[in-house]
Structure 1
Amino acid sequence: MAHTVQERRKLLARVNRLQGQLESIRVAIEEEKECATVLQQIAACRGAINSLLVEIIDGEIRFHVLSKNSKMDSREARAAENLVEILHRYIK
């Protein structure tokens, strides 16, 4: 999946941060923190998960579509780049 060691490290660092966020949510619920506080933590976690999702999809498109498809014309390559940009813009 991650196509370089650097990408894998970056993805694993995101997962580790997510684990910390989830643990904070668990603790907040156990300690009966205010609902708004818990919801804010959940929203932050959701944003982090969406960012991880986009990062993985981005890597897959760039590796499997753009870098391996030498027969792709410039219009098709630009369409794939636009798709990646749209993902980054709208999945947050």
Structure 2
Amino acid sequence: MPHSPEEKRKVLARVRRIRGQVDALERALLAGADCAPVLQQIAALRGAVNGLMSGVLESHLREELGAPRASAADRQASIDDAIALVRSYLR
């Protein structure tokens, strides 16, 4: 999770834009919009969520892997956690 006020503001703004995209998609579905524009909205939404995930993941990795660790075991645990996050992101 981004911890600086500026990073947090950016992430929250992105989440609000995503919420707006979801609301627009819902309105399009309720209105019976054609498939092509709906699929385009879904693709845009997927891109927005992937961008959000990428930004939060990057922030987390920089925080976790950029911080000095007291022991080799702590470093290895941090690397293992990062690998697990990347794997879950790529599913």
TM-score range, shorter chain: 0.7 to 0.9
- The answer to whether the Cα contact below 8 Å between 1:25 and 1:41 also exists between their aligned partners in 2 is yes
How many pairs does the alignment contain?
A: 73
Tell me what 2:65 maps to: 65
Deviation at 1:62, TM superposition (A): 0.7
Q: TM (normalized to structure 1)?
A: 0.73
For the aligned residue pairs, the C-alpha RMSD in angstroms reads 1.9
Aligned counterparts of 2:6 and 2:43: Cα–Cα separation in 1 = 28
Q: Taking every aligned residue pair, what percent have the same amino acid on both sides?
A: 38
Deviation at 1:70, TM superposition (A): 6.5
Tell me what 1:4 maps to: 4
- The answer to whether the Cα contact below 8 Å between 1:3 and 1:63 also exists between their aligned partners in 2 is no
Tell me what 1:77 maps to: none
Q: Which runs of 5+ in 1 are unaligned?
A: 72-79, 81-86
- The answer to whether the Cα contact below 8 Å between 1:14 and 1:52 also exists between their aligned partners in 2 is yes
Tell me what 1:31 maps to: 31
- The answer to whether the Cα contact below 8 Å between 1:25 and 1:42 also exists between their aligned partners in 2 is yes
Residues 24-45 of structure 1 deviation map (CA, whole Å, 9 limit, x = unaligned): 0000000001000000000000
SS in 2 for 1:9: helix
Aligned counterparts of 2:68 and 2:54: Cα–Cα separation in 1 = 21
Q: TM (normalized to structure 2)?
A: 0.74
